[in-house]
A and B are shown apart, each in its own frame.
Chain A
């Protein structure tokens, strides 16, 4: 059975190819490539990925311009229909700016661009994206961002925690994120945004292959569903 996925490219995206390679390696099917100016997504998608990078030069706020691009209107409609969407790094910023995920990604507390491989704790295995991990498992993913400092008000944070929507937490202090949150799910569980890069950790040459299980979880969950 084929796995029909699409990777969106915005002007300034730079991890779109990495995501497409990860999806193809794990699923055996090439990911379709979609441009920000397209008004519609390809028909019958199983999965949509929003890549890292610096869409629109991070003008105004990271992800703000991309969130208002034509293709994002289609992505929001697809997400609301239940199509799974993964946003990594700038993709996470785009998802919060588009209102698909709560909170905002602010400038890192230390003011500096953080670029290194960090330990994360998988907080839930009860999601399409994390089913292949154990809750509490420590994984190592690269991060590379300037605006990864997750902010939401206390009420929102409490709700995310009580609904099991914190997917990943930094095991070390990385960027000042509230409650060390590195990745969050939407209420329906079909949208995940995360600052760390699973697509940069899919084979041993990357220094970690811990990200592979995320893509395997998705493919297994969707193809066997």
Chain B
């Protein structure tokens, strides 16, 4: 079962990387960009039936740092 974990910075946490990308895009002439936030996508291939609780534990204990990041688990019914 393929699962995607989307890790993103919490709202309100300054994202220097996103800001640099924002400036770069504007420097390239793109306009109308309100904000850029850079996150991380982690793809897991796990045993069928791996529980949501286990996936949550993986995220909370390692894949995301809950001090600064949020995560979202994308399960097979939505993963192409």
Are A and B bound to each other? yes
B25 to chain A, nearest CB (A): 15
Interface of B is mostly: helix
Q: How far is the CB of A6 from chain B (nearest CB, A)?
A: 25
How many residues of B sit at the interface, in one of the four size bands?
10 to 19
Chain A residues with Cβ below 8 Å from B63 are 60
Cβ of A149 within 8 Å of any chain B Cβ, yes or no, is yes
The 5 closest A-B pairs by CB, nearest first: A104-B67, A104-B68, A109-B16, A111-B20, A107-B16
Which of A68, A104, A110, A176 is in CB contact (< 8 Å) with B65? A104
Q: How far is the CB of A51 from chain B (nearest CB, A)?
A: 21
Could you say which of B14, B16, B62 contacts A60, with CB atoms under 8 Å apart? B62
Size of the A side of the interface (Cβ < 8 Å), in residues, is 19
Q: Which residue of B lies closest to A108 (CB)?
A: B16
Interface contact A111-B14, CB-CB below 8 Å: no
Chain A residues positioned under 8 Å from B46 (CB to CB)? none
Q: How far is the CB of A99 from chain B (nearest CB, A)?
A: 10
In the complex, whether A106 has a CB less than 8 A from a CB of chain B is yes
Q: Check if B65 sits within 8 Å of A149, measured CB to CB.
A: no
For the A-B complex with A106-B68, A110-B16, A111-B16 known, give 14 more contacts whose Cβ atoms are closer than 8 Å.
A64-B65, A68-B61, A68-B62, A97-B65, A106-B16, A107-B16, A107-B17, A108-B16, A111-B20, A149-B16, A151-B13, A151-B67, A151-B68, A176-B14
Q: A60-B62, A64-B62, A68-B62 are in contact. Are A176 and B67 (CB under 8 A)?
A: no
Chain A residues with CB below 8 A from B65, complex form: 61, 64, 97, 104
B59 to chain A, nearest CB (A): 12
**Which residues between 12 and 50 of chain B lie within 8 Å of chain A, taking CB atoms?**
13-14, 16-17, 20
Residue of A103, A106, A107, A110 with most chain B CB atoms under a 10 A cut-off: A106
A151-B13 Cα distance, complex, nearest whole Å: 8
Binary contact readout B54-80 vs A (1 if CB under 8 angstroms, 0 otherwise): 000000011101011000000000000
